[in-house]
Amino acid sequence: MARKKKKDEVLNPKENESAATLQPITETLEKNYMPYAMSAIISRALPEIDGFKPSHRKLLYTMYKMGLLKGDRVKSANIVGRTMQLNPHGDASIYETMVRLTRGNEALLHPFVDSKGSFGKQYSRDMAYAASRYTEAKLDPFCQELFTGIDKDAVDFVPNYDNTQEEPALLPTSFPNILVSPNLGIAVGMACSICSFNLSEICDGTIALLKNPNTTVDRMLDIVKAPDFPGGAQIIYDREQMKKIYETGVGSFKMRAKYEYVKSENCIDVLEIPYSSCIETIMKKATDMIKVGKLREVSDVRDAIDLNGFKLTFDLKKEANPELVMQKLFAATELENNFDCNFNILVEGTPMQLGVREILGEWIKFRMKCVTRELKYDLDKKETKCELLRGLATIMLDIDKAIRIIRHTEKDEDVVPNLAAGFGLTTPQAEYIAEIKLRNINREYIFNRIQEIKSLTEEIEDIKATLKDELKLKAKIIAQLQEIKKKYGKPRKTEIVEKTEDALPKEDIFFENYNCRLVMTKSGYFKKLSVQAARSADEHKLKEGDFVIYEEDTDNRGDVLFFTDKGQIYRARVSDFDLSKASNMGDYIPSKLGMDDDEHVINCKMIYDIVPTHHMIYVFENGKGVRVPMSVYEAKSRRKKITGAFSTASKPVGAIYEGDKPIQVFIRSDANKAMLIKSSLIPEKTTRTAAGVQLLQLPKKGNVKVDIATERIDLIGEEAAKCKKLAIPSAGTLIGQLQFDI
């Protein structure tokens, strides 16, 4: 049996291999996917409380160890190569990281890298940076604030990837860099989008929180007014919206470009664009608008960036209105854009979504730990030095004895023990004395050195007092923040503009307004005729058996609502339809609006806005009808499709719009019975899917057709007039054999 089993294994090696490697999906997720996900979150995509991702931190620390805080710039390729000792992800990704940190890229309010050469621009996707062998860089003086105390055990150090050297787990930033430098990142299942704030405002906000931990979000909003970006532009300020971001770390705000109209050249110069916008995208969209006639006032758009900075120029045609042009551009291009905030950061290795006040609170905890460790390091060094100087003071009482002990000691290793025994010193004290040069073993040198004991003792007591008192620790941090603000603070670049209704672009600015006639047929064909074409038209071209169900003179500004037999409403702008002729059939609405294959239009109506007091009257095949207020269709956004707009319990056969006044509704069945009722008799239902009440009583297999007598009197003629005005429900009045469809 054993021999046969072995033979089967040889005959079916693939089958046995797949059986051996079979693994439950839960185990795969736990052992393979989860470690990858956590690595992406912790080691790559999200910034820590110091404001840096690992790639940024490794690069800056490498430059710091290269001595690039001082001296001349070096080739970027050299920096990239050295950084690979800490970051094994390849030279290209390291250089891309450095590019974003440079002054030349203009991505940061306070760049960390002083650069020389072409480093591209944050606002352009096509303006490429030069290769690392051509560019040069060093650390900006501002980076001194990143490394304060790093050589004094202010932060933990961890081994690098091959365990050959150590790197800092965090940088001991002496200001809340997490909110001063913008950060974007995508991890697994989470992402971060942190906007930048003005350094001076953030320092003031942090100081306020240090002085009063109960500082409210409203007070924080008064100090840290709004985000600030290196590209400037404007923030359309909504305090409630901003307060939500400050509280939760989630939300968005609107940004808008800054521009000026140059009258002498008849052009608009856009000088600053939103941080999240791209110049190439703006130019492409504007060019497309010019081609399709939505931006007729502009003759050309060009990139006018030069040594003076950013400039995007729109050349205008004669008599063009600059304000109207900018309204169109704001509405359709990234000259007006939203910045979406998602303040996901790592706090002690744990992802957290925090508001501005909470982030500053976490940074204060982090900074107090750094300062505490730095003070303990200084305390240890000063206590050690003070102890050594006290030993030196001891031998001053008898220098000759110390010399005698050293001179008469035969073995080198016995010098320190003999000195320690002769004067009652500790081993470190004796070691320190034994290392003093022969020329310095004199009363003057020793006297001058031991004078330091008093000042060291005072400094030690001061450090101990600071370590015991949280208020003193906070005062030290406050003093550092005030110094940073004084040294590096800059005025705001991004202007704050209060949100007003006038600032919002109008929706009807992209098309011309003119009078026109709208025509809809039973088969679903719709056309828009100019006034001239409508006047000269004798009759409309229609399919065989088709007829007009809606016709109205209006203008090009409104919307058309199309009601279908599936209980849905489709909304389109009048301007979306091209002018047609009576001799053309027009647009087939089900195709143009993307309706279902078996969906048909039962009527349409042009409106400017939804008027809550107006009504829609729906009549169904079973003789029921309902009157629904237009208020049920109100929405914050302009929806192109409303599903479940009215009942489909029975097939809808009529949709009639009722304005301010009641109208006469003519309803007839296929049994040639009809009724003419006032629309106000139809009960109002506030639920839009209500099935309604019985209007026209039908035989078991009867159906109805519907029309408005006042608008279709030419078709209904005298037969409608013969109908008695009845109460509902009613069996209707016999109207004879009508020779037309309605």
How is domain 369-488 classified at the CATH fold level?
Topoisomerase; domain 3 (1.10.268)
> Would you state the pLDDT for residue 21?
65
Three-class SS state of 566: coil
First to last CA, the chain: 88
- Please, which residues have CB within 8 angstroms of residue 138's CB and are 6 or more apart in sequence? 63, 68, 69, 71, 72, 73, 74, 113, 114
Catalytic residues: 134
In tens, the pLDDT along 160-194 reads 999 999 999 999 999 999 999 999 988 887 889 99
| Cβ atoms of 540 and 572 closer than 8 Å | no
CA distance 472 to 458: 16
- Please, which residues have CB within 8 angstroms of residue 679's CB and are 6 or more apart in sequence? 615, 617, 627, 656, 658, 662, 663, 664, 665
> Would you state the pLDDT for residue 503?
46
**Domain 258-334 = CATH 3.30.1360.40:** yes
> Would you state the pLDDT for residue 26?
81
Write out the E strands in 348-464.
350-353
H/E element holding 327? Answer: helix 322-332
Q: Where are the domains of the chain?
A: 1-36, 46-168, 258-334, 369-488
List the structure tokens of 109: 């309010």
Which residues of the chain fall below pLDDT 70? Answer: 1-21, 501-511, 701-703, 705-726, 735-742
Closest C-alpha among 486, 585, 489 to residue 529: 585
> Would you state the pLDDT for residue 742?
37
| Tokens 């050249």 -> residue | 265
How is domain 46-168 classified at the CATH fold level?
Topoisomerase II; domain 5 (3.90.199)
| pTM for this prediction | 0.72
> Would you state the pLDDT for residue 622?
86
List the structure tokens of 347: 């706090």
Task: Quote the Cα angle for 26-32-35, to 5°.
Answer: 115
> Would you state the pLDDT for residue 286?
94
Write out the E strands in 287-343.
298-303, 312-316, 336-342
H/E element holding 715? Answer: helix 713-722
CA distance 565 to 651: 6
> Would you state the pLDDT for residue 132?
95
Write out the E strands in 466-506.
495-498
CA distance 121 to 581: 51
The residue length of the chain stands at: 742
| Tokens 């940024």 -> residue | 56
List the structure tokens of 493: 């670049």
Strand 525-530 to 579-580 pairing: parallel
List the structure tokens of 275: 């941080």
